[in-house]
Amino acid sequence: MSKHSGDVRIENPTMPAGGWGSVQEVTTILLHQRVPLKDSRLLLRQNKPDGFMCVSCAWAKPANPHPFEFCESGAKATAWETTSKAIGADFFERHTVTELESWDDHSLEDQGRLTVPLRYDAQSDRYREIAWDTAFAEIGASLRSFDPKEVVFYSSGRASLETSYMYALLARMYGNNNLPDSSNMCHESTSVGLQKTLGVPVGTVVLDDFEQTDCIFFFGQNVGVNSPRMLHQLQEARRRGVPIITFNPLRERGLVSFTNPQSPTEMLTGAETPISTQYHQVKPGGDTAAIMGLCKAIFDFDDAARAAGAQRVLDTAFLQEHTHGFAEFEASVRACSWEDIERESGLRRGALESAAQVYRSSSAVMAVYGMGLTQHRNGVQNVAMVVNLLLLRGNVGKPGAGVCPVRGHSNVQGQRTVGITEKPELAPLDKLKEQYGFEPPREQGMNTVDACEAILARKVKAFIGLGGNFVRAVPERGLMEAAWREIPLTVQVSTKLNRNHLVHGKASYILPCLGRIEIDRQQGVEQAVTIEDSTACMHGSRGMAEPVAETLLSEPAIVAGIAKATLDPNPRVDWDRWVGDYASIRDAIEATYPDIFHDFNARMWQPGGFRKPLGAAHRVWKTASGKAEFTVPETLAGNPDLRSGAATLRLFTVRSDGQFNTTIYSHDDRFRGVYGSRMVIFMARADMAKYALAQGDIVSLRCAAEDGVERRVAGLAVVPYDVPQGCIAGYFPELNPLIPLWHHAKESKVPAAKAIDVILERGGRPS
Ligand SMILES: Nc1nc2c(c(=O)[nH]1)N[C@H]1C(S)=C(S)[C@@H](COP(=O)(O)OP(=O)(O)OC[C@H]3O[C@@H](n4cnc5c(=O)[nH]c(N)nc54)[C@H](O)[C@@H]3O)O[C@H]1N2
Ligand SMILES: Nc1nc2c(c(=O)[nH]1)N[C@H]1C(S)=C(S)[C@@H](COP(=O)(O)OP(=O)(O)OC[C@H]3O[C@@H](n4cnc5c(=O)[nH]c(N)nc54)[C@H](O)[C@@H]3O)O[C@H]1N2
Ligand SMILES: [Mo]
């Protein structure tokens, strides 16, 4: 068994996204994960009304699905969860935690599903099986002894609406709003930016808009890997001649072209659909500047149209009726020089003008974006800039137009909707008080960065993780891992063994749960759950595979187990009834959020899902001014606080098709042609020449921040790649030790994983 990634092999990736490569990848993972044949047929039920909702990304689920409504990434996620590989108490008898720490992330999860509850035994340095009741009783007794303000309840975007609602209630009844979520590392810049500008925390487009749009702008999202089902919508749009204008420092295969693996003709003929009609390799962090350039060109076009007495380019009626702050924004754009725009975006004026030309000639424009915009010091500003661009021509709240942030985890958006938030103002606290007769805490809770700061300050007594691999996903790994080991109590509700179980608190428990694809029987009845997709549509999901072990509990049962052992009994909260019948949890959700979830149990099976009401989608603006807000950018600088110089390179971290976040399916990246190792950096040939480096040379990176903390990753092989000069890319989570904790988006605190100024050194042994 390989416990370490081997030597790197580099090939020129010529295949389109999708295609035969995709089919082969799916077959390989089904075999390697020993997915029983009957379970591999499950793929046919994936993302279908009355089927189960994929556990990979949150992309929308159509009302009229394709016969195969799954993608390569989704099939991998299904195989990873429904694997017949499993580990029980005997595995942990054979391996000490210290030994397991030397295994790599792939090998840990590849052992298969966790099957029994475990408690760390310091004397033998092993996890040992423990009875469920004992685990709950011990965890409950500890939690009762702590100050609730010093306990953190983290969630990692996958748990259902039902579980998430119960979990948020548990935290609040216990006495805090310390509910950080993976979205704090992800689309929190969206939640803050869109709320402020459009009065909604989420995107405004639905699937139908893809059929009506006549232009798509695509910023910093790698569709071919991270939300491949969207390629269907993009391919269809391209067939109608819709231009797709992409801004991304890397030339990503999936954004270049696509062969639909589910189309026999395309597969036989090898036909590829080119996806992007323009590809702008913006500098990481340069999107604010690039969008200022687009807006500047649009003002120029508008000036010319006005001078010629032609039809205006700006939608003046919309601006007048629906927006606020336009004059200030216009002034800032006019004052901004092309020289600054070109320097900060890394793009030429002519290129930006040609993109703006497409924008001005389109009548319904959609802007799609991902982590390339949100994970920056200026992440919130980047989102607001996208809104500025759309507002100029009234591209919000009409068919075919709008903003489309592509969410990550399959229910990350839904968790926020049902109360997982550290911001008390976003939870219906009065309603909860009335419904359950307790006094909800009103103070601000901790988000992810706050929780990390508190852990570093040794101020966290207990960390409960509902899924995820927190210590691996956060920045500042060096300091975080050391501090983590001093947390008095850590509890992880998990499906697979991961790094966070090995880097553990003084007392540590692993509570293994059923996955969403598994049949969840309570009192003999098969239960269903619900999730919210990226377009704010709610869907029912039924488990369809036999559970990998009888000893697993469902997530609602685990949350209830902890709650009952921790909280004083409350006659109005019947945890057992909820666990016995999930429809009763949905009734409770409906009572708390009647506007969103009325008739929840009936509507959850509606094909295509039912949508959360969103004012902005109908031009109702729930903002401070009652209108859509323009935002004047504070700065064009891509990385205002980590000052770059001639000696630094700007690193951005990305995902491969061989991973789902910290879950590493394989060490290969088919799309970028890198095989056998993830310890690589992607570098422009011109920079390789400058540093006198050849392909495969080994280098180390050191963070350029001068704050007295040494942040270094060694043992990285150089891969020549089409990235702008002065920039390099590498993989998350391997490069997370390079990110200072304070290097996060200003208003949303999303770690700025897409712009880290680093110093490159030749050689260096792997640390
Ligand atoms: N298969 C698979 N699917 C996933 C995941 C996974 O790991 N694997 N993760 C899930 C999760 S939680 C999330 S949040 C999403 C993430 O999905 P994405 O948002 O696609 O995330 P990333 O791969 O981190 O980065 C996206 C792109 O941003 C580009 N980029 C980097 N910096 C910049 C910049 O400054 N400007 C611009 N314009 N582009 C930039 C990168 O080159 C990359 O192509 O995917 C979800 N789906
Ligand atoms: N440098 C850098 N850092 C980043 C990012 C980046 O782009 N660059 N991206 C950030 C983003 S967008 C995100 S979302 C975070 C991700 O951070 P997390 O959400 O914390 O991490 P994951 O890797 O998604 O969690 C994987 C673990 O979840 C558990 N799991 C899987 N399925 C289930 C389930 O059904 N139930 C339960 N209870 N557990 C389950 C498994 O044990 C698995 O090991 O990382 C962030 N960190
Ligand atoms: Mo994410």
Q: Which residues of the chain are in CATH 2.40.40.20 domains? A: 649-762
Q: How far apart are CA 373 and CA 344, in angstroms?
A: 15
> Identity (one letter) of the amino acid at 706?
E
Q: Return the structure tokens found at 198.
A: 């459009």
Helices 161-174 & 582-592 angle (0-180, nearest 10):
70
Computed on alpha carbons and rounded to an integer, the radius of gyration of the chain in Å comes to: 25
Give pLDDT, residue 42.
86
Q: Which residues of the chain are in CATH 3.40.228.10 domains? A: 188-406
What CATH code is assigned to 86-186+411-616? 3.40.50.740
Buried b (16+ CB within 10 A) or exposed e, 540-552: bbbbbbebbbeeb
Q: How far apart are CA 683 and CA 687, in angstroms?
A: 7
Give pLDDT, residue 16.
72
Task: Compute the distance from residue 186 Cα to the ligand 3 centre, in Å.
Answer: 4
What CATH code is assigned to 649-762? 2.40.40.20
Q: Which residues of the chain are in CATH 3.40.50.740 domains? A: 86-186+411-616
- In this prediction the pTM is 0.97
Please identify every stretch of the chain with a pLDDT value under 70, giving residue numbers as ranges. 1-6, 14-15, 268, 643-644, 764-767
What CATH code is assigned to 188-406? 3.40.228.10
Q: pLDDT, tens digit, for every residue of 485-539? A: 999 999 999 999 999 999 999 999 999 999 999 999 999 999 999 999 999 999 9
Give pLDDT, residue 14.
66
Q: pLDDT, tens digit, for every residue of 392-441? A: 999 999 999 999 999 999 999 999 999 999 999 999 999 999 999 999 99
Task: Compute the distance from residue 493 Cα to the ligand 1 centre, in Å.
Answer: 26
Give pLDDT, residue 1.
38
Query: Ligand 1: residues whose CB is within 6 Å?
Result: 56-57, 73, 186, 219-222, 225-227, 247-250, 252, 282, 284-285, 287, 370-372, 408-409, 652, 654-655, 657, 659-661, 754
Residues with CB under 5 A from ligand 3 (ion): 186, 408
**CA-closest candidate to residue 262, choices 44, 30, 542:** 44
Give pLDDT, residue 255.
87
**Does residue 469's CB lie within 6 angstroms of at least one atom of ligand 2?**
yes
- Give first-to-last CA distance, the chain, whole Å: 22
Closest ligand 2 atom number to CA of residue 81: 32
Average pLDDT, the chain: 94
Whether the CA torsion 584, 585, 590, 596 is positive or negative: it is negative
Give pLDDT, residue 644.
65
Report helix, strand or coil for 632: coil
Instruction: Write out the H or E segment, with its range, that includes residue 680.
Output: strand 680-683
Give pLDDT, residue 458.
98
**132: Cβ–Cβ under 8 A, 6 or more apart, which residues?**
117, 553, 561
CB atoms within 10 A of CB 160: 28
* Nearest listed ligand to the Cα of residue 229: 1
Q: How far apart are CA 58 and CA 63, in angstroms?
A: 15
